[in-house]
Amino acid sequence: MAQSSGGQRLMFVLFAVATLIFLLGIVVIGFLSGAI
């Protein structure tokens, strides 16, 4: 817990972005699979 709030915020942002990209990829793949 000795890390700066900036470091923790950066890690949280990276995790959030990775999760959004992962979910978006699943939606796109599912849409393409259903469209074909």
- The per-residue pLDDT for range 1-36, each reduced to its tens digit, is 566 677 889 999 999 999 999 999 999 999 999 876
Domain ranges of the chain: 11-36
pLDDT at residue number 26: 96
Residues 6+ away with beta carbon under 8 Å from 30: none
pLDDT at residue number 7: 80
Alpha helices in 1-36 (DSSP H): 5-35
